[in-house]
Amino acid sequence: MSQHPASHASRPSRRSPDRGVRRIRLGEREFITRGLTRLVLQDLYHFFMTVTWPVVFATLIGFFLIFDTLFGWLYYRVPGCIANLNPPGFWGAFFFSVETLATVGYGDMHPQTPYGHVIAMIEIFVGVMMLALITGLMFARFSRPRARFLFSRVGVIRPIEGRPTLVFRTANARQNVVQDASAQLRMLRDEVTREGYQLRKITDLTLVRSQHPVFALTWTLMHVIDASSPLHGETEQSLNAAATSFILSLTGTDETTGQVLKSRADYSSSAIKWNHSFADILEEREDGTLSIDYRHFDDVKPLTEALPSSA
């Protein structure tokens, strides 16, 4: 079951409970949190790694213009510190600041007083540091391993070998080899203990096969609902009443890059289709070639026979 941290040292700083209102979506459930202020400036790396590319570039451009304006004003406030200032006035100082911060140095404008040299030296240092940080940030974002695992939009419960079985369908969209792939399936549901304590319980669901040596195309993951299964005796209505959800996680090593890939999918109880089957996407042609049609990857169809008991 989920646990809360007991150490005060690991907790982020908190302010007024009316501040820091945020909306967070986990799977299909949305949460509203209060009392935790998002301190972006103290967690810039995480901010830049999680926002979209347009936000990254807009933020970097904003920092660049702010520093250019700041140092341009420092040059402007002491007339004569820059030789050959063109155009005269603030805009000339601003453009010189742009050249200095970018460490370009065209040579026509240059510092000619001790004050100008000191400000230029500071700005060059800031520019070099910004270049190093931007380079590291871009490398981190481009080199971050990204799994292109496909997860079926729904799961199905259908009979297999006379037993009801929870089935999910996955695939490797890159169609290269992912070595030693592993899968974990967990169920989350609301429960109340005998003492009346309400909790969100996490339960592991055993898969028929949780390892795949060469995950390259598709992988069907199955959990048998027998007497030992946490889903034994459950119905569609009982799962909905307990706000049940499922988390399917995949991990493996990309054979091409050697990077560890991780991905997950969240399913609410409403995304589980009872007594349904996935459409067959594998076809063997006359020449023996196997054809996989991913256009029907998420298609399901109802079954006519009744779902067997999990007893």
Give CA torsion, residues 291, 295, 297, 300, to 10 deg: -110
Q: Do 207 and 98 lie in a common domain?
A: no
Is 129 within a domain?
A: yes
Give the span between the Cα atoms of 97 and 71, in whole angstroms. 6
Domain stop point among 87, 122, 143: 143
User: C-alpha angle with apex 128: 125 to 131, nearest 5 degrees?
Assistant: 150
CA Rg, the chain, in Å?
Answer: 29
Q: Do 282 and 219 lie in a common domain?
A: yes
CATH of the domain at 251: 2.60.40.1400
Is 31 within a domain?
A: no
Cβ within 8 Å of residue 246, ≥6 positions away: 155, 185, 186, 187, 188, 205, 266, 267, 272
What is the number of domains present in the chain?
2
Q: Do 278 and 155 lie in a common domain?
A: yes
Is 20 within a domain?
A: no
The mean pLDDT values, 10 residues at a time, for the chain of 311 residues are: 42 50 70 73 79 90 94 94 92 94 86 93 93 90 86 94 94 91 94 86 94 92 94 92 93 90 93 93 83 90 80 54
Q: Do 113 and 170 lie in a common domain?
A: no
Give CA torsion, residues 70, 76, 80, 82, to 10 deg: 40
Q: In this predicted structure, what is the pLDDT of residue 19?
A: 59
Domain extent at residue 157: 149-302
Give the span between the Cα atoms of 13 and 42, in whole angstroms. 11
Tell me the whole-structure pTM to 2 decimals: 0.72
Is residue 277 within 8 Å of 133, Cβ to Cβ?
no
Domain stop point among 116, 143, 170: 143
- Exposed (0-12), middle (13-18) or buried (19+): which is 245, by Cβ within 10 Å? buried
Give the span between the Cα atoms of 65 and 276, in whole angstroms. 58
Q: Do 157 and 213 lie in a common domain?
A: yes
Amino acid at 173: A
Cβ within 8 Å of residue 283, ≥6 positions away: 290, 291, 292, 293
Q: What b-and-e string marks burial along 151-184, b requiring 16 or more CB atoms within 10 Å of the CB?
A: bbebbbbbeeeeebbbbbbbbbeeeebbeebebb
Q: Do 166 and 293 lie in a common domain?
A: yes
Is residue 181 within 8 Å of 147, Cβ to Cβ?
no
Collapse the DSSP code of 234 into the 3-class scheme (helix H, G, I; strand E, B; otherwise coil) and give the result. coil
Cβ within 8 Å of residue 232, ≥6 positions away: 225, 226, 310
